[in-house]
Amino acid sequence: MATRFYIKNMVCPRCIRVVRDELEDLDLKVTRVDLGEVEIDNDFTPELRDKIDDALVKNGFELLEDQKQKIVEKIKISLIDLIYNDELKEESHRLTLSAYLSQSLGMDYNYLSTLFSSVENITIEKYVILQKIERVKELLKYEELTLSEIAHRLNYSSTQHLSNQFKQVTGFSPTQFKKMVGNSRKSIDKLT
């Protein structure tokens, strides 16, 4: 009997690997692990739920049982995918953020926006800005792209718009940030 459950704070391929390893260490038959969602071929007893929860918590994850929390986690995963997945960005350039989320989750954007804000105490738009700025930091640190290329890649209207937003969030211009030694990035699962 396949059991599906949802996990908070899974935001990258490393998270998928850690969760899969932890579940396999519990001798579970893992059939699928995606960002925020796992499927096992085991009965989900209360004892098993507690074992899974313990294994996840020690790695910074959390079982999600509340339906609203599950939707918020799906919103975050969709947004992170939008910002980090270059192929998806090309397809979504023609969509507004609200249309992208509505299409991606099959729900009304007003509902998603209100729910996200009430659970996370931040708007979807501000969450996207924080995610984009962290992506900019990462791309600046790699020094493979110009600021103009980064602005285009992240769908900013101009390099100036990116620079202004970057300074507003970080307190530094992108150029100042590049020059700083030990510029620290926040983990994308800590941005709320």
Mean residue pLDDT of the chain comes to: 87
pLDDT value of position 10: 86
Q: What residue ranges define each of the domains in the chain, with the CATH number in brackets?
A: 3-64 (3.30.70.100), 67-122 (no CATH), 127-190 (1.10.10.60)
Amino acid symbol at 12: C
Integer Cα distance of 13 and 188 in angstroms: 13
DSSP state of 42: S
pLDDT (tens digit per residue) in 152-186: 888 899 999 999 999 999 999 998 888 884 545 56
Amino acid symbol at 183: N
Ordered alpha helix ranges (H), the chain: 13-25, 46-57, 67-84, 86-92, 97-105, 109-120, 124-142, 147-153, 159-170, 174-179
Of 52, 54, 59, 57, which is closest to residue 26 (Cα–Cα)?
52
pLDDT (tens digit per residue) in 82-127: 888 766 555 556 678 899 999 999 999 999 999 999 999 999 999 9
* Mean pLDDT of the region 44-57: 91
pTM of the shown model: 0.78
pLDDT value of position 181: 42
Dihedral sign from CA coordinates of 9, 34, 86, 81? negative
pLDDT value of position 114: 96
